[in-house]
Amino acid sequence: MAGYLGEPEATQAALHGRWLHTGDLGAWDRDGRLLVLDRRSDRIVTGGENVSPAEVERILATHPGVAGACVVGLPSIEWGQEVAAVLEVKPGVPVTMEGLRAHAASTLASFKLPRHVMIVTALPRSAGGKLLRRVARERFLDEVAKQKHP
């Protein structure tokens, strides 16, 4: 790759010597294949602890009322960021903050549990079906702003 078209700053940030830094986080599986697990820029840092949105999403998706989950970090004066979940819920199955946190607490550390939840009819996805966390975060922040300044 020679660089990003018309984006010299992005090119400089991504190319170091002969290496392309994608910002992806991965791990090797038992068969020696590289698995892409998450994006570094999606990591949530809350109270000095790192939270993988993908990990929290996997656990929330096992709740019987959750059809899909997108986890993002929201700004927090006290913690740096707070974990927030944007959820698609299944019709007729109630989902409460308390129930969701209780469900996830059996698997996740307390700092990884969502402190905020927003229910949506459909999660933002790319044409390829990938979650658009940045869009979900912006929608969450817009909703918070509306509640503060109606």
Q: Give the model confidence (pLDDT) of 3-52 as tens digits.
A: 788 888 887 777 877 777 666 666 788 888 876 666 666 788 899 989 99
CB 43 within 8 A of CB 52: yes
> Between β-strands 19-20 and 24-28, what pairing exists: parallel, antiparallel or unpaired?
unpaired
What is the structure's pLDDT at 141? Answer: 86
Query: CA 82 → CA 42, 77, 102, distances in Å?
Result: 13, 9, 18
Instruction: For 86-123, give one letter per residue: b (16+ CB within 10 A) or e.
Output: bbebeeeeebeeeebbebbeeebeebbbbbbbbebeeb
Three-class DSSP category at 89: strand
Indicate yes or no: pTM above 0.85.
no
List domains and CATH numbers for the chain: 1-40 (2.30.38.10), 43-148 (3.30.300.30)
What is the structure's pLDDT at 68? Answer: 95
- Tell me the average pLDDT across 100-124: 93
Least Cα distance to 25 among 34, 15, 12 occurs for 34
